[in-house]
Structure 1
Amino acid sequence: MFSAKKLAESSSSSSSSSVVGLPSEYVYLKNNSDEKYIILDDEEAQNITIPTIDFSQLISSNSSDRSKAIQQLGHACTHWGFFMLINHGVSETLREELLRASQSFYDLPEQDRKQYEGGNILDPIKCGTSFNVNVEKNLLWRDYLKCHVHPRFHAPLKPTGFSKIIETYCKTSREIVGELLKGISISLGQEENYIHKVINYESGFQIFVINFYPPCPKPELAMGLPPHSDHGLLSLLLQNDLQGLQVLHNCKWIPIQPLPNSFLVNTGDHMEILTNGKYKSNIHRAIVNNKGTRITIGAAHGPPLDDTFGPATQLLGEHDLPLYQAIKYRDYMNLQQSNALDNKSCLDHVRI
């Protein structure tokens, strides 16, 4: 199976300059939008206050603490579409087990992973490289595993225990997102279960993704994931110790250095559609490095795949018109997954 991991291993074990360099098909071609944004360095980024939500306050029985957290949550969704989540109750043990298991999956013999390669875009388990090699002009320095985990759970049987760890984590992440959606509902002036009811959250779609970015011989020329927004309502991300996430904010690429044991959370395209543009989806990207393997684990949460979804009536003002067409979630995902990632190009298809 062709993969960035395999290429990185060939590069590290070879003295041939043709292998040590970056193959031309992996050289990322920048577009006009890439050139117009400022890239902050780590020192400059330290002067920017990243929104941070204390989950323990969000679910607190103390009305003052909860009100404060909901206000902060609404501000983060309005102005950033991104925040760090702390005190969420997920143990470091589970997080570390998940990261180790993720590495173990990529250490499996090639034949054990090959069975999940190719196939249809929305296969319940799919393993591959780049994003969509069928439409991309240049490849991304990234391998991935995608699993549909709700309402039906799917995961590889190997390595031993891998499926159980994923299932435990995904159940926990759904509970966290459920509480976040309650806070967001209140921040939008609705009762706490408003979004749950509108999107039928209990039957909603959840996808689990492991991104594997091996060390790159020429990281300045390659890209892990280009600028894009996520489908769905909210995505939770955890990662190992290597940084690489950059968030676009006020025309600046901000490198994110997560607080210890925090989650990174971003709003997706369907949050923007649901709120008719009040809470916009966040554009972000993943850069690569030559120091070591970066692993990120994402869990995206949305409505049921076969539900048609548009701006929520109660979130439209008296004189507001819908800014987005209603679309079946499955059709939206097919649209995104069958094209190359490019900022909000998928969302642009449903703008009115």
Structure 2
Amino acid sequence: MAIGSTIEMEREWVKEVKEFDESKMGVQGLLDSGVTTIPRIFIHPPENLSDLQPSSTHFEIPVIDLSITNCSKVIDQIKESFSTWGFFQVINHGIPMQDIEDTIKAFKSFHEQPKEIKSAYVWDQKVSYYSNFNIMWSKAVNWKDSLRVFTSPNPPKLETIPSVCRKEVMQWDEYMKGLCETLMELMCEGLGVNKNRLKELSCLGMRKFVCHYYPYCPQPDLTLGLPTHTDRGVLTLLLQNEVSGLQIKYGDEWVEVKPIHGAIIVNVGDLLQIFTNDQFKSVEHRVLANACKESRVSAAVIYNPGKRGESDIYGPLTELLSPENPALYRNFTIPEILKQGLTDDSSSKAIVDLFRLNCNDND
């Protein structure tokens, strides 16, 4: 193809993406307008679509029951799950089922409002509604809409959170903070460090809530809900409704994370892999475009260190290091990450690769 034609196609693609972004209608708005095929800006490269179906049906991610009275058993299960899978689902976590159902219903209600209401939240500093975070820099647009709220350390004013899910956002933030603190303590005990070690690193200090909404896609074999990536933070806690779509990479296979009513999915982020010096693994995952008429709803709370100054140093926990187990990563600051533009989960192992030491650096 001639260079001039390629440039013109790229310009047209950028124009279409910009028009979609500025329309503020989101993916749900496209469906409301009556589309029966997806616009070309949503069509992903063939290499992203070659293995959409899970390659195995006999693998399932671990399920951990927090009601078990044998605490050492739970600690061992968490350590084993994070060392091999990077994921697990937690049940009997103490959050009332009615509150879980009300939360999902409220988040779904937000995304099904008219665009005139949702567009009031486009790219606010603390409360944002958008379709794709890095839409102008992506190879293809993803078939989803999102609501994002930064709940800590400086929460937004309550009146700036959409009224249809305001109570649920704040309540869910409190539920997840409590559950995450418990899980971090158990993780630390599994690692053999002080149970408050991650809390002391301010890993509960910055919390970002993101509700993804995946409506029905008329051509799910041509696009994705979220492409393959790893989370960049410390830990992610995710609630999903009973519409499947999330898959994780286990070895060379894609494994479906089958919904369990009321369960919370927990997964390792890149920063936690670094803090544990590779004892825990951040694992690639993705979300398929939704082929069901019922929308898929997920609500993630992503945890990052709250101390973010130039003097706040992070790296592998020193208690885990020894001459036999040297540091695999150099120390760093959060501003170093921000300067690299690594602020969203759009690729795999970006932070891990950025700070990993060469073999010769350990000699």
TM-score computed with the length of structure 2 as normaliser: 0.83
Q: Is the 8 A contact 1:83 1:266 kept in 2?
A: yes
Q: Please state how far the C-alpha of 1:163 moved relative to its aligned partner.
A: 1.8
Q: Is the 8 A contact 2:233 2:304 kept in 1?
A: yes
1:134 aligns with 2:136: yes
Comparing 309-318 with 329-338, which one deviates more in the overlay? 329-338
Deviations 1:168-201 (A, max 9, x none): 111111111111111111111123222222x124
2:123 pairs, out of 118, 123, 132, with 118
1:56 aligns with 2:67: yes
Between the aligned partners of 1:305 and 1:248, the Cα distance in structure 2 is 31
Residue identity in the other structure for 1:329? I
1:107 aligns with 2:112: yes
Between the aligned partners of 1:158 and 1:193, the Cα distance in structure 2 is 32
Deviations 1:23-52 (A, max 9, x none): 1110111448x75x79436xx42x224211
Q: Is the 8 A contact 2:273 2:280 kept in 1?
A: yes
Query: In the alignment, which residue of structure 2 is the partner of 1:176?
Result: 179
Alignment of 1:24-173 (within 5 A): 24-31=40-47, 39-40=53-54, 44-45=56-57, 47-57=58-68, 60=69, 65-118=70-123, 123-154=125-156, 157=160, 159-160=162-163, 162-173=165-176
Q: Which runs of 5+ in 2 are unaligned?
A: 1-23, 358-363
Q: 1:181 to 1:333 in 2, by over 3 A?
A: farther
Query: In the alignment, which residue of structure 2 is the partner of 1:349?
Result: 354
Aligned length: 329
SS at match of 2:297: strand
Comparing 78-87 with 229-238, which one deviates more in the overlay? 229-238
Q: Is the 8 A contact 2:227 2:287 kept in 1?
A: yes
Between the aligned partners of 1:303 and 1:213, the Cα distance in structure 2 is 29
Comparing 339-348 with 215-224, which one deviates more in the overlay? 339-348
Q: Is the 8 A contact 1:267 1:281 kept in 2?
A: yes
Alignment of 1:252-271 (within 5 A): 252-271=253-272
Residue identity in the other structure for 1:26? F
1:195 aligns with 2:211: no
SS at match of 1:134: helix
Q: Which runs of 5+ in 1 are unaligned?
A: 14-18
Residue identity in the other structure for 2:38? L
Query: In the alignment, which residue of structure 2 is the partner of 1:16?
Result: none
SS at match of 1:20: coil
1:5 aligns with 2:21: no
TM-score computed with the length of structure 1 as normaliser: 0.86
Q: Please state how far the C-alpha of 1:343 moved relative to its aligned partner.
A: 2.2
